[in-house]
Amino acid sequence: MTTRLVILRHGATFDPGDEVLRIGARTDLPLSATGRAQAAAAADRLAAIGFAFVRVYSSPLRRAIETAETVAARCAPGVVIEKIPMLTEIDYGPDEGAPETSVVDRIGADAIARWEAGAAIPPGWRVDPGALTAGWRDIFDNAAGTRGPMLAVTSNGVARFALDAADDASSAPARKLRTAAYGLVEIDADGATKIAEWNVGP
């Protein structure tokens, strides 16, 4: 039996025309109007595929919880959302809450590109790759043998380390999940894990 785990990035926290900030673990913003529409679109997409989630995990941050609630209303009615601290976004250190233009000025566009493509951690950001990878492995191990699909709603900084935890991540050419996009992890009965899809949608 193969268990399917959908890893979904939360919806947007800024609308067109807003100043975009680098928000992480210490910035607990709700979804914007755009983000709420993205969450609803993600719910529609997953429902159309036929996902009926038997367990739903979420970061404790409001943007993730709101996304999880929107998807669960369509794809997991009656399922209690479980808040998992490991799914909380990373801490962007001196760039937390700063405008993206200021972040680029401080660390450079190349550093951002290396982070998005390969999780090379820019100076000052507070990230523990080993702990995040181990956290995903725990989620995968606990999911093995579950009868029915599962959903984990998290942030871009955390989601990328699921690729390090998987046995086969060859279908993920880049680590970043777009806002409200998802990846699909297949976990067989022996616990072997494969990234079947990555960065799908929104």
pTM, full prediction: 0.96
89 close to 155: Cβ distance less than 8 angstroms: yes
Which residue range(s) make up the domain with 50?
Answer: 3-200
Q: What is the DSSP letter of 88?
A: S
Spell out the residues 6+ positions from residue 125 whose beta carbon is closer than 8 angstroms to its own: 90, 91, 92, 93, 95
CATH of the domain at 59: 3.40.50.1240
* Active-site amino acid positions: 10, 89
CB atoms within 10 A of CB 82: 12
Q: Identify which of 36, 74, 38 has the alpha carbon closest to the alpha carbon of residue 178.
A: 38
Strand partners, 151: 6, 56
Q: Coil, strand, or helix at residue 15?
A: coil
> pLDDT digit of tens for each residue in the chain (202 aa)?
899 999 999 999 999 999 999 999 999 999 999 999 999 999 999 999 999 999 999 999 999 999 999 999 999 999 999 999 999 999 999 999 999 999 999 999 999 999 988 889 999 999 999 999 999 999 999 998 889 999 999 999 999 999 999 999 988 888 889 999 999 999 998 889 999 999 998 7
Instruction: Tally the domains of the chain.
Output: 1
Q: What is the DSSP letter of 142?
A: H
